[in-house]
């Protein structure tokens, strides 16, 4: 079985919050870079306005994968079992139940990873589903931090300046949040253009005596994300992963021509949020995931369902930057 990647979740969403309501409320805090004003010690203190924030309310869609365990099918040999069969019917039934729950958990994790990726890459997420009105939720990333290069500035052009671009983009994020970018995650085409650029080649040649590739610690999800170089304070990673859309189409998480810059996770302040499960069997608890199982007596089948109401929230989205570097 291929592993489940959690690259974006691990990179930007270290915290978890479970709501005791169906809705998720989160505050987007305005940046405050003011200094305390000078005054004479003989005058009254100066009243300063409080830092503002905006509160958003979002009712997440439910994830409710459901499966049936048909007793008639457990008579068949399971994958990996001896050809003549070595398991009892009860063992096959138990294995089928465990396999379904495992599959559901993976489905939930893939959806969380998709929501995290959408939030960081696009600055928002679109949620739609059966009997759920489409919601386009934006987290308010500064317009100047979603960039599209063109003409002579493209990394694929001989006049492109990718090293200078990385420095410029890092400063943009530092002005917004106080934190510089520490990692650039590149799609494969963007990486090819980057590593082929003459200025990058010259930098690597200049640093040939220094190991600039082996000093980056791998993270969970390294099967889809690979550390490539350390250039100054920047870690350079490549990333390629796909998911199967609701329409059954294999789709890239990150466009191969795009570069994503991220400040440290404490700058982005990503939170994995979960609304309360409106199910009496769950006692309306604050849970990340609620599995349930029930039997239908006639015909005799068992149903399994796992419920969750997730939303991945980057509370400081300006700790991220997205740039399309190839036409």
pLDDT in tens, 65-86: 999 887 777 766 666 666 666 7
Rounded to an integer, what distance in angstroms lies between the CA atom of residue 27 and that of residue 305?
32
Q: How confident is the model at residue 160 (pLDDT cuts 50, 70, 90)?
A: very high
Rg (CA), the chain: 25
Q: Which of 196, 159, 153, 142 is nearest to 319 (CA)?
A: 142
What pLDDT, in 10s, does the model give residues 188-232?
999 999 999 999 998 888 776 555 444 455 555 557 899 998 898
Q: How far is CA 178 from CA 31, 186, 315, in A?
A: 9, 23, 15
Angle, alpha carbons 135-136-138 (nearest 5°): 135
Average pLDDT over residues 314-318: 93
DSSP lists the bridge partners of residue 75 as: none
**pTM to 2 decimals?**
0.85
* Cα 54 to Cα 52: distance, rounded to the nearest angstrom: 7
* 91, 95, 97, 103: CA torsion to nearest 10: 180
The beta-strand segments (E) located in the chain are 15-18, 24-29, 53-58, 66-69, 124-129, 132-138, 146-148, 183-186, 225-231, 234-239, 242-244, 250-252, 258-262, 270-274, 290-296, 301-307, 310-314, 320-324
On the CB side of 105, CA atoms within 13 Å amount to 9
* Torsion angles phi and psi, residue 66, rounded to 5: -135, 145
Most confident of the following: 148-152, 174-178, 205-209? 148-152
User: Domains in the chain, start-ordered, CATH in brackets?
Assistant: 7-19+61-324 (3.30.1930.10)
What is the model's pLDDT at position 249?
Answer: 92
On whether the CB atoms of residues 151 and 290 are closer than 8 A, the answer is no
pLDDT of residue 208: 66
Paired with 258 in beta bridges are: 324
Confidence of residue 47 (pLDDT cuts 50, 70, 90): low
């Amino acid at each position: 079985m291929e592993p489940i990647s959690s690259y974006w979740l691990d990179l930007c969403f270290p915290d978890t919050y479970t709501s005791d309501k169906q809705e998720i409320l989160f505050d987007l805090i305005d940046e405050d870079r003011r200094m305390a004003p000078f005054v004479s010690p003989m005058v009254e203190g100066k009243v300063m306005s409080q830092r503002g924030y905006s509160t958003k309310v979002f009712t997440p869609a439910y994830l409710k994968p459901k499966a049936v365990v048909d007793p008639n099918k457990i008579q068949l040999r399971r994958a990996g079992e001896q050809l003549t069969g070595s398991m009892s019917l009860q063992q096959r039934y138990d294995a089928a139940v465990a396999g379904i729950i495992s599959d559901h958990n993976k489905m939930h994790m893939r959806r969380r990873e998709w929501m995290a990726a959408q939030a960081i890459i696009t600055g928002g997420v679109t949620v739609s589903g059966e009997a759920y009105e489409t919601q386009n939720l934006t987290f308010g990333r500064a317009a100047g931090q979603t960039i599209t290069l063109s003409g002579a500035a493209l990394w694929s052009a001989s006049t492109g300046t990718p090293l200078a671009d990385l420095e410029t983009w890092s400063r943009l994020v530092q002005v917004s949040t106080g934190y510089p970018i520490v990692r650039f995650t590149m799609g494969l085409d963007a990486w090819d253009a980057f590593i082929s650029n003459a200025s990058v080649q010259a930098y690597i040649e200049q640093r040939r005596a220094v190991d600039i590739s082996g000093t980056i610690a791998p993270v969970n999800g390294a099967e889809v994300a690979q550390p490539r170089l350390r250039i100054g304070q920047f870690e350079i990673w490549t990333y390629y992963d796909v998911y199967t859309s609701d329409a059954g189409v294999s789709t890239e998480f990150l466009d191969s021509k795009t570069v994503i810059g991220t400040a440290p996770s404490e700058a982005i302040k990503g939170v994995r949020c979960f609304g309360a499960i409106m199910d009496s069997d769950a006692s309306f608890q604050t849970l990340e995931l609620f599995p349930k199982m029930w039997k239908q007596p006639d015909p005799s089948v068992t149903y399994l369902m796992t419920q969750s109401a997730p939303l991945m929230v980057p509370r400081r989205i300006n700790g991220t930057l997205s740039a399309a570097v190839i036409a």
